[in-house]
């Protein structure tokens, strides 16, 4: 019964861009609590993604199911600002930082002091923010601008990184599943993070509580590759 119902959920979600919990409960004639349990199970299996009361199926052949940067910037705003503030303890003068195009890293960039730093990033908003700091050296990946995620996509990223020594890579991700694997919705975003995890001397994952027990389209790597994680999640939720 449960397996059949979950298969029906996958089919319903595959036929559209997403459905609310209420809509799924109505179509399958079960309670919202039952649907929530099913959605949690399907999310842990990496078959769906949930956002703000809605669920959508993960399609392996459609690797661009993430939310636009503007929407992510508003989501869990206070939590992300606080997590970013705590990351400042890892930053000191003379370092070379790499920042991804996540909204949490943008919140961090806004709080960075104007000290002797080098910042390497693929994020357009972070580039704009760093341009205001006179003492920070900015290195942008360049490339083609992805307007949805407000980041640059550069096929020559690996070659570019050969000339940059990264002391600390600070990043976020779409989700971390029960096995401790990190996920993102877009291929180019996951590739950027995979490469920086390999190149940086240390890495710092900034992740709010909504991202745990979630998968997405493209695997980045494992939590075992991360030096430290900063989160607002209770230990039992990790």
Continuous H helices in the chain: 2-14, 21-28, 32-44, 69-74, 77-87, 103-111, 124-130, 157-161, 187-199
- Say how far apart CA 190 and CA 170 lie, in whole Å: 14
Looking at residue 65, what is its pLDDT? 60
- Say how far apart CA 139 and CA 120 lie, in whole Å: 5
**Cβ–Cβ < 8 Å for 121, 115:** no
Containing 121, the helix (H) or strand (E) segment is: strand 117-121
Looking at residue 237, what is its pLDDT? 54
Q: Which two tokens stand for residue 169?
A: 């890579």
**Cβ–Cβ < 8 Å for 193, 225:** no
Q: Which two tokens stand for residue 17?
A: 């861009």
Burial classification of residue 94, based on how many CB atoms lie within 10 Å of its CB (0-12 exposed, 13-18 middle, 19 or more buried): exposed
Q: Which two tokens stand for residue 236?
A: 């039992």
> What is the DSSP code (8-state) at residue 64?
B
Looking at residue 95, what is its pLDDT? 98
> Would you give per-residue pLDDT tens digits along the chain (238 residues)?
787 888 888 888 777 767 888 888 888 888 888 888 888 888 777 677 776 677 777 765 555 567 788 888 878 889 999 999 999 999 999 999 999 999 999 999 999 999 999 999 999 999 999 999 999 999 999 999 999 999 999 999 999 999 899 999 999 999 998 889 999 988 899 999 999 999 999 999 999 998 888 878 789 999 999 999 999 987 655 5
**Cβ–Cβ < 8 Å for 17, 143:** no
User: Count of residues for the chain?
Assistant: 238
**Cβ–Cβ < 8 Å for 188, 153:** yes
Looking at residue 52, what is its pLDDT? 66
**Cβ–Cβ < 8 Å for 135, 116:** yes
- Say how far apart CA 78 and CA 61 lie, in whole Å: 34
**Cβ–Cβ < 8 Å for 206, 172:** yes
Looking at residue 60, what is its pLDDT? 54
């Amino acid at each position: 019964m449960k397996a059949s119902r979950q298969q029906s959920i996958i089919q319903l979600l595959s036929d559209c861009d997403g459905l609310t919990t209420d809509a799924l409960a109505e179509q399958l004639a079960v309670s919202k609590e039952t649907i929530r349990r099913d959605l949690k199970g399907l999310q842990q299996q990496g078959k769906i993604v949930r956002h703000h009361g809605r669920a959508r199926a993960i399609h392996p052949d459609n690797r661009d199911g993430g939310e636009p940067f503007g929407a992510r910037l508003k989501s869990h705003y206070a939590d992300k600002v606080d997590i970013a503030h705590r990351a400042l303890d890892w930053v000191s003068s003379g370092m070379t930082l790499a920042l991804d195009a996540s909204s949490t890293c943008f919140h961090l960039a806004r709080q960075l002091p104007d000290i002797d730093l080098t910042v390497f990033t693929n994020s357009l908003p972070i580039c704009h923010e760093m341009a205001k700091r006179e003492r920070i050296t900015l290195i942008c990946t360049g490339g083609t601008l992805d307007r949805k995620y407000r980041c640059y996509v550069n096929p020559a990223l690996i070659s570019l990184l050969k000339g940059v020594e990264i002391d600390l890579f600070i990043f976020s991700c779409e989700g971390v599943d029960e096995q401790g694997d990190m996920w993102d919705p877009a291929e180019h975003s996951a590739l950027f993070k995979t490469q920086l995890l390999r190149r940086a001397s240390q890495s710092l994952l900034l992740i709010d509580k909504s991202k745990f027990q979630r998968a997405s389209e493209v695997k980045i790597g494992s939590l075992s590759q991360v030096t430290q994680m900063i989160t607002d999640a209770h230990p039992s939720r990790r």
